[in-house]
Every structure is written in C-alpha cells, then in structure tokens.
Amino acid sequence: MSNLILIVIMFCAGTSVAIQPSVNARLAQKVGVIESACISFAVGTLVLLLVLLATGKMSLKGLGEIVWWEWTGGVLGAIFVSATIIIVPRIGTAAAMAATIAAQLVTGVLLDHFGAFDFKGAPFDFKRFLGCLCLLGGVVLIGRR
C-alpha cells in the first residue's frame, strides 16, 4: 500500500478523532463522564469484535507473549477519551484538538528520535524543533479566547 493511501487513511482517522470528543461529551451530558467513556469503549469493542468475526481473523495466539506494558494501550485510551469528554465542553473542540495534536506530534518526534518500542525512528534536528515550536505556538493562538 502506498504512503499516500496510508496518509489519506490516517487523515480520515484523524477526522474521527476530532469528532469523537464532541459526540462523547454530548453523551456525557445525558449519562455522565465515566459512563460516556465506558459506552464509547464498549461500542468500539463490539464493532471491532464484529469486524474480527466477519473477517475470520480472531486469533489469540500471541496472548501469552504480551509483556505488562503492552496492556496499557487501553488505559491510555481511557485517559484520553475521559479527558476530552471533560475538557471539550469547557474550551471547545478546536483548542482541545490543537493541544492534542501538538502533544501527539511532539511526543512522536521524541519517540522517533529514541527509536522507542523498536520502531523506525528519525533523529531530532533543527527542522523538527522548529516544527514543534510552531505547533506549540498554534496551541496558544487557537486556545486564546
């Protein structure tokens, strides 16, 4: 699959990440913050389970090889979803997403630099530093009211 197709897929996924906090925050107004996060994860789990069943790719073969920290993805997701449910109604979707995107990209630059999780990395250089600085400046500009 070409990089362009992968970038388009991630662009679409990013759109869903921008919409999800507002949808979850509206749900939280009716059922509560933690309840909304739980419903979000439950529906997501159900959808993924249906995809696995439909594709016949249900496999737990590597379950015994998982190290403790590899289980934390769900915890990290729960923190993110819960935080957005609380914060989006207070500062707005754009400010929350600006902070989220800046944090993701700055963290990504650091993970790349150190080759974290044994993934292909890229060294931290002046261009990446300027990019991070621009992102953080964008957060300040978007977050001001």
| pLDDT (tens digit per residue) in 106-139 | 999 999 999 998 888 899 999 999 999 999 999 9
* Angle, CA of 77, 60 and 7, to the nearest 5°: 50
Token pair belonging to 101: 């995107």
Between residues 1 and 98, which one has the greater pLDDT? 98
Cα–Cα dist 51/43, whole Å: 12
Token pair belonging to 8: 């388009």
pLDDT recorded at residue 88: 93
* pTM score: 0.81
Strand, coil or helix: 28: helix
Give the position of tokens 């957060």.
Answer: 139
pLDDT at residue 43 is higher than 90: yes
* Angle, CA of 11, 37 and 116, to the nearest 5°: 55
pLDDT recorded at residue 63: 85
Domain spans of the chain, in order of start:
1-88, 92-145
Work out the pLDDT band at 1, boundaries 50, 70, 90: confident
Token pair belonging to 46: 């159900």
pLDDT in tens, 47-101: 999 999 999 888 888 888 999 998 999 999 999 999 999 999 999 999 999 999 9
Spatial CA neighbour of 20 closest among 113, 100, 75 = 100
- 34 in Cβ contact with 82 (< 8 Å): yes
